[in-house]
Amino acid sequence: MSGRRVLIVEDELTQITLLQGVVQRAGFLVETAMNGPDAVARLNDVKAPTVDVVLLDLVMPGMDGIKVLETVRPRHPALPVVMLTAQSSINTVVDAMRAGANDFIVKPASAERIRSALEAALKTSDLVGEIGPMQASMQGGGFDSLVGTSHGMTRAAALAKKAARSAIPVLIEGESGVGKEVFARAIHQASARKAKPFVAVNCGAIPENLVESILFGHEKGAFTGATEKRIGKFQEADGGTLFLDEVGELPLDVQVKLLRALQEKEIDPVGGRNSIKVDIRIISATNRNLSDRVAEGAFREDLYYRLNVYPITLPPLRDRASDIPALTEHFLKQITAMEDVPRRQITPEALGLLAHYSWPGNIRQLQNALFRAVILSDSDWLTPADFPHLSGTRPDSADTGLQGTVVAMSPVARPGEGDATMLPLEDASGNIQTLATLEAAIIAAALEKYSGRMAEVARRLGIGRSTLYRKVAEYRLDT
């Protein structure tokens, strides 16, 4: 795991020191934060190195772990988070899973448990991350590729189709992950510029000292490290469409130059002597309220009016739940085709789980969840167990494979006592054992076989992780 960076968020100095030692010995790079606000600020700092996984304490003064997770999830929907707490109640686990935790560790935990949890979280993140290079092909081209018939979706598509008929500047507003770039591409493909380049720039992901160079280009020797001449995104998009995603994150000094480029239709490369004429159509997008940014002095008012000529607002996925079945079918077809795996179906229970989840990361999070499920599942049918990070949102009856009267754990069929592969159906008196007794024995054997890796145990048993945690506590297997 050399080079992978872990952010440890813990308010107790002793604990954070111990955790830091364990994580570093496992081969990770480590950063620390001793409270929630510092953790959020670090994760949202676009200038700092990327954090690959977070080890997050649940109970902290002020902003607790759940609040931290809820705050960062919309902006970082695929960031793996492993929750730490001394509380092992089922309500605590469910709350953590609902907020978006990938795994849950009860303190004190062994070094092996912490290491395996981090590695499992990163493995899942890597699989989900593979969807990134596929985005362009999965996004399709024109308005025919848009999926959904909800009122909000239909209205947004109608406005976008009208915008495509002209070169009017468009501002697409909406939460992170709602599909703003999909709409921008659809507008471009339906416009007279469709044969020319579509160039997308995530303004919030560019280091501040490089924004001007990336947008407008630079001459050789213009600054330290400029070893050759580079054209900027404006020139790349000449004749076509330039999509400025998260435009509200641009520094004020760059906003001035962007305004001039839009007004004069020309740019000045860094270190250049002459201006360069460009012919582009601007589509911008933001998940921030730009009028509030203007009031705060963080965004130029004249640039705001230049960009906000034709606003389109995209609804969050939670407000268009009726579109989730169609989106799920659409993504499953594309994912299985591109990964060259057998066609996957989804059970009604699993589809119901997806339809009732709040999706803080919106369509991007749904797409990633389906990608992960397809890659990790060995079955042709996706079940609730294939979405363990969402399992806390469904009733137990949907994911419990065995039903029966719960009784005290009998001292039989424990791992290590006799042949663990042969579970006796009869007790010492010759009576059939209860379902609860057999279920506890099966779970205990699975915990031992898979070294306590809860995500793997849940997957192998075909149950959700929330159910597994509850049953482990119920049968006192955690002792």
Using DSSP, state whether 137 is helix, strand or coil: helix
List of E strands, 219-369: 241-245, 266-267, 276-277, 281-286, 310-313, 345-346
pLDDT digits (tens, 9 = 90+) for 421-438: 456 676 666 777 787 788
Amino acid 220 reads K
Which residues pair with residue 313 across a beta bridge? Answer: 173
Amino acid 229 reads K
Is residue 379 pLDDT above 90, yes or no?
no
Q: Is beta strand 81-85 parallel, antiparallel or unpaired with respect to 103-106?
A: parallel
- Which helix (H) or strand (E) segment is 311 a member of? strand 310-313
What class is the 317-396 domain? mainly alpha
Model-level pTM?
0.55
**Res 412: pLDDT:** 35
Letter string b/e over residues 232-264, b meaning 16 or more CB atoms within 10 A of that residue's CB: bbbbbbbebbbbbbbbbbbeeebbebbbebeee
Using DSSP, state whether 287 is helix, strand or coil: coil
Number of other CB atoms surrounding residue 371 within 10 Å? 23
**Res 17: pLDDT:** 86
Q: Choose from 97-111, 113-127, 152-166, 218-232 the range with maximum mean pLDDT.
A: 152-166
Q: Is beta strand 276-277 parallel, antiparallel or unpaired with respect to 241-245?
A: unpaired
**Res 301: pLDDT:** 92
Which residues pair with residue 105 across a beta bridge? Answer: 84
Q: In the chain, what are the domain boundaries?
A: 5-129, 151-314, 317-396, 400-479
- Tokens 């947004």 appear where? 156
Using an 8 Å Cβ cutoff, are 473 and 440 in contact?
no
Kindly indicate the confidence band of residue 391, based on its pLDDT and cuts at 50, 70 and 90: low
Number of other CB atoms surrounding residue 279 within 10 Å? 12
CA 293 to centroid of chain Cα atoms:
25
Q: In what order do the strands lie in the sheet with 29-33?
A: 29-33, 5-9, 53-57, 81-85, 103-106
Asked if the 151-314 domain carries CATH number 3.40.50.720, the reply is no
- What does each C-alpha distance from 309 to 302, 382, 470 come to in angstroms? 12, 44, 54
**Res 410: pLDDT:** 32
The fourth-level CATH superfamily of domain 5-129 is: Response regulator (3.40.50.2300)
**Burial class of residue 380, CB neighbours in 10 A (0-12, 13-18, 19+):** exposed
Alpha-carbon distance 172 to 256, whole Å?
21
DSSP assignments along 383-429, one per residue: -GGG-GGGGGGS-GGGT-S------PPPS-S-TTSS-TT---SB-TT
- Nearest to 188, CA basis, from 124, 281, 326, 84: 281
Using an 8 Å Cβ cutoff, are 365 and 426 in contact?
no
Which residues pair with residue 432 across a beta bridge? Answer: 426
**Res 66: pLDDT:** 86
**Res 416: pLDDT:** 38
pLDDT digits (tens, 9 = 90+) for 17-69: 888 888 888 888 999 999 989 999 998 887 788 888 999 988 888 888 888 88
- What does each C-alpha distance from 4 to 115, 118, 243, 268, 457 come to in angstroms? 13, 10, 31, 38, 25
Mean pLDDT of the chain: 79
pLDDT digits (tens, 9 = 90+) for 87-145: 655 556 666 666 677 777 877 778 888 888 888 777 655 544 444 444 444 444 577 77
Kindly indicate the confidence band of residue 8, based on its pLDDT and cuts at 50, 70 and 90: very high
Using DSSP, state whether 259 is helix, strand or coil: helix
202 vs 187 pLDDT, higher one: 187
DSSP assignments along 206-228, one per residue: S-GGGHHHHHH-B-TTSSTT--S
The two structure tokens encoding residue 283: 């589509």
Same fold, 5-129 and 151-314: yes
- Tokens 């054997």 appear where? 445
pLDDT digits (tens, 9 = 90+) for 255-313: 998 999 898 888 888 877 888 898 999 999 998 889 998 998 999 999 999 999 999 99
pLDDT digits (tens, 9 = 90+) for 303-360: 999 999 999 999 999 999 899 999 999 899 888 887 778 888 999 989 989 988 888 8
183 vs 116 pLDDT, higher one: 183
Using an 8 Å Cβ cutoff, are 171 and 311 in contact?
yes
Is residue 404 pLDDT above 60, yes or no?
no
Using an 8 Å Cβ cutoff, are 77 and 364 in contact?
yes
Alpha-carbon distance 174 to 176, whole Å?
7
Using an 8 Å Cβ cutoff, are 55 and 8 in contact?
yes
**Res 224: pLDDT:** 66
Is residue 86 pLDDT above 70, yes or no?
yes
